[in-house]
Amino acid sequence: MTIGRITINQDRCKGCTLCSTVCPQNVILMAENQLNAKGYHPALFVDPDGDCTGCAVCAIICPDVCITVYREAAKRTKAVREAVTI
């Protein structure tokens, strides 16, 4: 299982909604009640349950390169560690 998270550069975002549309985990929402410096409703990363997998689809589709993805492999369990080292 891979754990992911993203950051969104709110000031660069033009509110096109592409990232929120393609995210398979539905953890990107548009800030309906908030405007950035350009006057757009920016995208927000809302992932209280840690569902982001770090798949990076959002970053790839963003036309303004606003999204940075961080991905971390989950720690191996003891059983997997032992199987790998045998």
Where do contacts with ligand SF4 occur on this chain (CB under 6 A)? Answer: 4, 6, 8, 13-19, 23-25, 27-28, 43, 52-58, 62, 64, 66-67, 69
Query: Which of 26, 81 has the CB closer to ligand SF4?
Result: 26
Give least dist CB 55 to ligand SF4, A: 4
- Which residue number, 49 or 84, has a Cβ lying nearer to ligand SF4? 49
Q: Is 49 exposed, middle or buried (0-12, 13-18, 19+ CB in 10 A)?
A: exposed
Least separation, in Å, of the C-beta of 75 and ligand SF4? 20
- 72 beta partners: 3
Specify the residue, 49 or 79, whose C-beta has the smaller distance to ligand SF4.
49
DSSP result, 14-32: ----HHHHH-TT--EEE-T
The Cβ of residue 16 has, within 10 Å, a number of other Cβ atoms equal to 16
